[in-house]
Structure formats: C-alpha cells, structure tokens
Structure 1
C-alpha cells in the first residue's frame, strides 16, 4: 500500500471499492435471477461478474488504499503492522458503509426497495466451515501473492473467488462487510441477518489461520549451505 495517499483518500477508495464490489455481487445476482430459472446458470453469472470486478477494483484502487474492501483483510494487515492500528477502525467503517451503499445502489438500479431484510437461510456447521475455508484461502492467496507475485495479486484474488463460489457450500462470502451488505437484500445473494454472527466469526477465524500459516510458510528462504551446525541440528 502506498504511503503517499492521506487517510481520507484511502478511506474513499475503500468505500468506493466495497460499494462497487457489493453492487456487482447483488446486482449480477438480481440480473441472473431475472434472466434464468436455472440456479446453476444464475450462480455462474453472479460468479463471473464478481471475479471480473475484483480484478478491476484491485488493479485501479490497490495503489491508493491497498484494495482491502474487507475488514478481515484489513485486520490481517494491521496485525502484520502494514496498516496502522489507528487506521483499522476507519477502514472497517468505510468498508461497511460502502457495502451497504452498494446494496442500495443495486436495488435502485433494479427498481427494488432500497433496503430489505434477507430471508435466505445460511447457517449451520457446514456453512461455517465453508466460510472458514473460503476466508482462509482468500487471505492466504493475498499474502502469498504479495510475497511472490505482487503484480498478479488482482488476478489471483479474482480467480480464487471465482473458484471459491463453486467449491464452498456458502458460495464464499469471505468478507464481513459484504455479508452485512448482503443481509439487506432479499434477492439471489442474500443472507438472513440472524445468520450474520456465525459467518463473521468463521471469517475472522479463517483469516487468522491463514495469517499464522503464512507467517511460518512464507518466511524468507535461506540457503541450507550457509546454515551453522546448530541451525541444522534436529
């Protein structure tokens, strides 16, 4: 993340990015549901739009704010001391406000009530495990991408979410701000507000697991030939 941009501009970038991400998730879900009765085809349309938008948003806004668009991603960067602790609450607030605005925008474009309470049930151990898995993968992809191919992170994240829509039972929310925003739409992509706490806890857990594994696995490599006998002893 660039240190050139002041916090106010970074927050606008985070809010705008999360707004456009949620508008894409909710809006493409509504459009897909209108165009087909085939749930798999509707999910495919929802998936492709979301993955594509992530590539765009991370590419254009990443240099400004880091393109987190996700409270658990910001939490991880704060724990890595790559985002100041004082900036973390502001990042999270911007992401949540932006996400809710994205739902409102999507509803407005399709002439729906601007805010709704979702009735889509998404709860239970399998759904929570899916969210742990989805968020673990997302955070691990980000950290690994930054470590080895920083220029490819936008594509890595977009492709990962595209895949995770299909291999996780929850369709890979992997983002508390997005989950909150999706609780306010009673459309294809919704989640009941009462189901939010389980998803948020699972997402935080997955992010922390990824941070711990990445902290060990991605440590700087050293040439074994330069290690001392003490370092190489079992």
Structure 2
C-alpha cells in the first residue's frame, strides 16, 4: 500500500499574505512556487522549480490568497481528523487554485495538471515494477548482491548498524525510492549504499571477531551509537 502525506506549510502562506499586502507581488509569486512544489510532491508528483513558470507578470489578488489560506486550514484540520477522502478532495482543489496563480491561462493550468498526473502514474508504475520483482514465485532465488534493491537486514550489514536503525531511516525518508512491500517489508535501493553486500559481510565477520577479542580483554563490547546519515 502506498501512502502520501499531504503537505501544507502555513508559515509560507503567512509570508505570501504579508508580501501581497505590501504590494511585493514578485516575491509573493516566488513563495507561491515553493508552496506549489511542496504540495504536488507531497501527493506523489515530481515537480522541480524549473517546471514552474519563471516570468509571471500578473498581480496576486489578496482576496484569493485569503480564500486559499482558509482552504489550507480546512485540509489540515481534516488530516488531523483522519478524514482522508474529504482531505484528498479539497487537496485537489487546493493544488489547482495554487497553480492557477502561476499560469497565465486555463489551458496552461490544464496542461500542467496533466503533467502532474503523468508523473504520479510513472512513479507508481516504477514502484509496482520493483515490488513485483520481490514477489515473484522464485523470489528466494533472487541474488540481491546483483539486484537494485536490498532488504533492511542486508542494508544493516552493509551500513554496520541494526535492522531497526535501517527501518527508522527508511521511515524518515533517508533512502529515496525505498518502498514497502505488501507485507510491510522495506526494500532499499542498492545504489545508496557505499559498499557491496559481499564486502560488508566480510567486514562484519572481521568486526565480530574484533568484538570477541575486545570482550575477552575488557569484558564488554562497544554499543552502536544512534547516529544519523545524509546522502549527497
């Protein structure tokens, strides 16, 4: 099951409102572009700043901004109430109204909405394709050392941390394109790990031997630190 968290940053909307009141329309538009990008990506789309128009000459209407802020608050309240159907319906209206402020014509808005839909479908197809490889009848025979994805246990060996730590990193989004199978098991792209499983297994054997030697000498081993990671 694939879920996306609706993302509406009310702090950014406050900035837009202040900028519009001060007649700083160009600056308001730049913030609106960030809002649009966050909202679209939060529902599974893939939009970058370069996908949005760069030369926008229309002024932003203060009344329209106030109405959209009110809509955003409704969506946030529905999310807190776990009313997913109503929140999803209003989110569709919200995104359309935001991008309508960025494009000069309704035709441009419709074309952009189509591109958003295509990006979501493409992303879902990639996820399902990766998941189907894991769930083939001969899945036990899959050589993860040669495949694109590894299990949390294998990633833990490669990263030198616990399986629980890897799962926590997955939940925090530390591994882009990582996904959960129908059974709730994480699969992590091999490309984000800095070594191969073979190399990690050899290193792990060496570290266990070193731990045993350390334990024999000082009576204890060093615990794993709860560290965080960043990938460039």
TM-score (norm 2): 0.27
TM-score (norm 1): 0.27
More helix by share: 1
Larger RCO (alpha carbons 8 Å, 6+ apart) = 1
